[in-house]
Amino acid sequence: MTLETVSENRSFGGTQGVYRHKSQATGTDMTFGLFMPELIAHERVPVLWYLSGLTCTHENAMTKAAAQQFCAETGIAIIFPDTSPRGDGVADDEAYDLGKGAGFYVDATQDPWKPNYQMWHYIVHELPELVGENFAIDREAMGITGHSMGGHGALTIAMTHPQRYKSVSAFAPIANPTESDWGKKQLAAYLGEDSAAWRAHDSSILMQERGFPREVLIDQGSNDQFIDLLRPETLAQAMMARRQPGQFRMQPGYDHSYFFVQSFMGDHVHWHAERLFG
């Protein structure tokens, strides 16, 4: 696949790039951000995938999450994919939480979403192959994290493919979408009305059924304005019942914004780096 350079900027000794390519998975042009630390000039480096939340593009976390400094310090790359396919012919909805900007990291099986909304395959298979062919990343040392809808994606992808990811964390994930208005609507639209098909995309259910073979790290703000939609208690209970190694941290006073993500991004990057280099 041909990769087009949209922009490249010097950042903390490394390079923050934005790239565009034609996706076979989505049938559209897709854009992603990639921060490459200075170390990448000398050797292949581990990579952290950051999946963004509802309404976001590749740009939101790239400019607001404050990850580049910590990635430069630790010597890992970080990738910011888009959250959905884009384009004039791509199905959409008037609501902000369905359609463009709200792909929910699933492979849609229902029309009108099925032709383009293949975000699971795009994130898990196509984009890693493309990046690995064009940049000196180590695909044997990948971690994954995300915020809100992206936290949901990170957890479900990592628990489904633990052999692909050495580490997983999440910021305020949509933790129980099969029982939340942030999930039931979207999973029904993309996957159909049979809720049995939704279970593979619910991190609380996956935690109960299989967990993750290594530690997980979850941060949740106690003042999150969307906390009832996120249902963090369901995931925390599943972790305790399974005795899943890791940490679930309720951060006092923090909301759902990127100020929350910024505040703990350093913890997450360093936590992933320890496991990826290990």
Catalytic site residue from 82, 202, 219, 224: 224
Catalytic site residue from 148, 167, 169, 180: 148
DSSP 116: T
Catalytic site residue from 21, 256, 268, 272: 256
Q: What is the CA radius of gyration of the chain?
A: 17
The sign of the dihedral angle between the CA atoms of 263, 268, 273, 278 is positive
- Which two structure tokens, joined as six digits, stand for 235? 């995931």
DSSP per residue over 160-177, as a string? H-TTT-SEEEEES----G
Q: 110 to each of 103, 190, 245, how far by Cα in Å?
A: 13, 5, 36
Measured between alpha carbons, how far apart are the two ends of the chain, in Å? 32
Residue 224 is a catalytic residue: yes
Q: Are the CB atoms for 175 and 228 separated by under 8 Å?
A: no
Residue 203 is a catalytic residue: no
Residue 29 is a catalytic residue: no
Q: 183 to each of 126, 141, 210, 214, how far by Cα in Å?
A: 25, 30, 21, 26
Segments in the chain forming alpha helices (H): 58-64, 68-74, 119-121, 127-134, 149-160, 184-191, 203-209, 227-230, 232-242, 258-277
| Residues with a known catalytic role | 148, 224, 256
